[in-house]
Amino acid sequence: MLRHGAAPLAQRPGAARPPPRAAPAAAPPSAAALFRRREQRAPLASLRAAASGQKTTSAPALSPPAPAAPAAPPAPSSALASSPAAVDAMSALYHLPRDDWARAALSVVVVGASGDLAKKKIFPALFALYYEGLLPPRFQVFGYARSGMTDAEFRERVGRTLACRVSAGAKCAEAQERFLARCFYVSGPYDTPEGFGALDARMAEQERSHFEGEEGEGEGRAGGGGNGSSNGSAGAGASRSANGGGAQAAAPPQAHRMFFLSIPPSVFTAAAANAAQHCASPTGWTRVIVEKPFGRDAESSAALGRDLAQHLTEEQIYRIDHYLGKELIENLTVLRFSNLVFEPLWSRQYIRNVQVIFSEDFGTEGR
């Protein structure tokens, strides 16, 4: 027991001092974390290598990187997406069949073409793909809605929403005119077959014109032949003809049709049923894109899926939420998976929901 004023034993002259405590060493990352980081980088690295014609080689996960020569500047996104090598890599990665766009036409039908979503998002996005040469040479865009419009009025309305935002050049106005020349309009209701019958006849007329010498405006940046890949399993009639004899026979012309449902959820099923029954392609695949919302809850979402399954196969249905492609949402995913602090914590075990608020200076006019 120490007396009052006595120094502790460690501070007395000649007393042995305890060795200093070593700082705890940082724990090395686990093998699972290293594997996860490597797997996240692998698809993008493979596509970039395929676009540049290089071959990738696998290295041990923990081996130090070898010194490399100065890297060439990265290829632009359009070249990466449209090069044949990149298309082959993407098709192999996701097991996608290839479409022969040299003998095929594509009709994109925007159901609800007079609405706000079509005006602000769909038509500008289609033109951006056309301007970058990512659409097939034989394509056309059809607008379908209940509002009465002529082709000229429809093109004028669509033309006010187009802009060359990425790489505007001197030929932007010419590209817009060529794109608008491929736009057509048919009016009709969503829940009756009469309007869809007229739409089918109009599409068949334009599809035939592609293979009767009326190629349209296939020159320019949009005539690059497209990316040549389809976004899922082909529908009925989408398989290509087999080669006969020893020589390769020319495949018969195909007409693929894609319907984008930019309409209220209350008419999703009726519009999809009419498209499948009265506008399905007789020679190519038919696919339907369903824009959010997919019901109000799990029960209504399952009911919507059952209703669509009565008219379409699952391989023909694509569900899309364009808000997931906004820059703010994309930044959230990068912030989570590239940050060692947030990655293990930002999951459904610790976060109940994420609320994103967009402030706009206009109301819901037209929506």
Give every CB contact of residue 102 below 8 A, 6+ residues apart in sequence: 225
Distance between CA atoms of 361 and 363, rounded to whole angstroms? Answer: 7
Distance between CA atoms of 36 and 324, rounded to whole angstroms? Answer: 23
User: Residue 26 in 3-state DSSP?
Assistant: coil
pLDDT at 227: 41
User: Looking at the domain assignment, is residue 92 inside a domain?
Assistant: no
User: 76: left (phi > 0), else alpha (psi -120 to 50), else beta?
Assistant: beta
Instruction: Give me the CATH number covering residue 301.
Output: 3.40.50.720
Give the least confident one: 7-11, 158-162, 347-351, 352-356: 7-11
Residue 48 has pLDDT above 70, yes or no: no
Where b means 16+ CB within 10 Å and e means fewer, 196-215 reads bbbbbebbeebbeebbeeee
User: Residue 118 in 3-state DSSP?
Assistant: helix
Distance between CA atoms of 136 and 229, rounded to whole angstroms? Answer: 10
User: Looking at the domain assignment, is residue 155 inside a domain?
Assistant: yes
User: Looking at the domain assignment, is residue 222 inside a domain?
Assistant: yes
pLDDT at 357: 81
Reported as a single tens digit per residue, the pLDDT across 26-46 is: 555 554 554 455 444 444 444
**Domain range holding 164?**
101-235+252-327
Give the least confident one: 51-55, 97-101, 310-314: 51-55
pLDDT at 174: 87
Q: What is the bridge-based pairing of β-strands 104-111 and 183-187?
A: unpaired
- Higher-scoring residue by pLDDT: 121, 87: 121
Name the token pair of 37: 């980081």
Give the least confident one: 87-96, 109-118, 251-260: 87-96
User: Looking at the domain assignment, is residue 289 inside a domain?
Assistant: yes
- Higher-scoring residue by pLDDT: 13, 41: 13
pLDDT at 163: 81
pLDDT at 329: 82
- Given a contact cutoff of 8 angstroms between Cβ atoms, the answer to whether 111 and 262 are in contact is yes
Residue 218's pLDDT band (cuts 50, 70, 90): very low
pLDDT at 86: 65
Average pLDDT on 115-141 reads: 90
Residue 99's pLDDT band (cuts 50, 70, 90): confident
pLDDT at 200: 95
* Prior bond of 293 cis (ω within 30°): yes
User: Looking at the domain assignment, is residue 208 inside a domain?
Assistant: yes
Q: 0.75 cut: is pTM over it?
A: no
Residue 288's pLDDT band (cuts 50, 70, 90): very high
User: Looking at the domain assignment, is residue 12 inside a domain?
Assistant: no
Average pLDDT on 174-179 reads: 91
pLDDT at 9: 47
User: Looking at the domain assignment, is residue 46 inside a domain?
Assistant: no
Give the number of domains in the chain.
1
pLDDT at 159: 92
User: Looking at the domain assignment, is residue 352 inside a domain?
Assistant: no
Residue in 107, 153, 154 with CA at minimum distance from that of residue 287: 107
Distance between CA atoms of 105 and 160, rounded to whole angstroms? Answer: 26
N- to C-terminal Cα separation, the chain: 84
Average pLDDT over the chain reads 73
Q: Count other C-beta atoms under 10 Å from residue 350's C-beta.
A: 8
